[in-house]
Amino acid sequence: MEVEKATVEDAPAIHALIAQCAGNGRMLPRPLGDIYRNIREFYVIRDDDGLVGCGALVVVWDKLGEIRSVAIRQDARGKGAGSRIVEACLEEGGELALPSIFVLTYEKEFFARFGFAVVDKAVLPHKVWSDCVNCPKFPDCDEEAMLLEL
């Protein structure tokens, strides 16, 4: 399973994969236009059947990054694709000298395996005011905030 940077051609498949996971309650949906605008932040894994998984690293502030939209095709779950995507995001975070990376997730146990720890959302003020205020679940977010110090 090779992790690659996404291309513009991957955007519709990324959108469909995220929509599938969102439909199962595993994550929040993302508009296709948002995926196109942020395609440079995405990593993907492919197989002969198409896109296996995706995920993105977003620089939120000078000392803070976010891993978001980690989605794995149903038949590929539990085979390491999600871990490979998160590892690629963490490696890039290190290359960018980000001291901290966070996630907002429903998959707390998965991210804990990488050293992420649950934190109060109040420690993520830039995130709250830049993205969360536009979310339909704001201010009643039911995702867990987790932080990893690199």
What number of residues does the chain have?
150
Q: pLDDT per residue over 44-62, tens digit each?
A: 999 999 999 999 999 988 8
| CB atoms inside a 10 Å sphere around CB 46 | 16
Least confident of 24-28, 35-39, 98-102, 145-149: 24-28
Q: Which residue has the tokens 């490979």?
A: 84
pLDDT for the residue numbered 125: 66
pTM: 0.91
CA dist 115 and 85 (Å) reads 15
Residue among 32, 24, 114 nearest 71 (CA): 24
More confident residue, 126 or 114: 114
What's the mean pLDDT in 101-112?
94
For the chain, domains (ranges, CATH) are 3-149 (3.40.630.30)
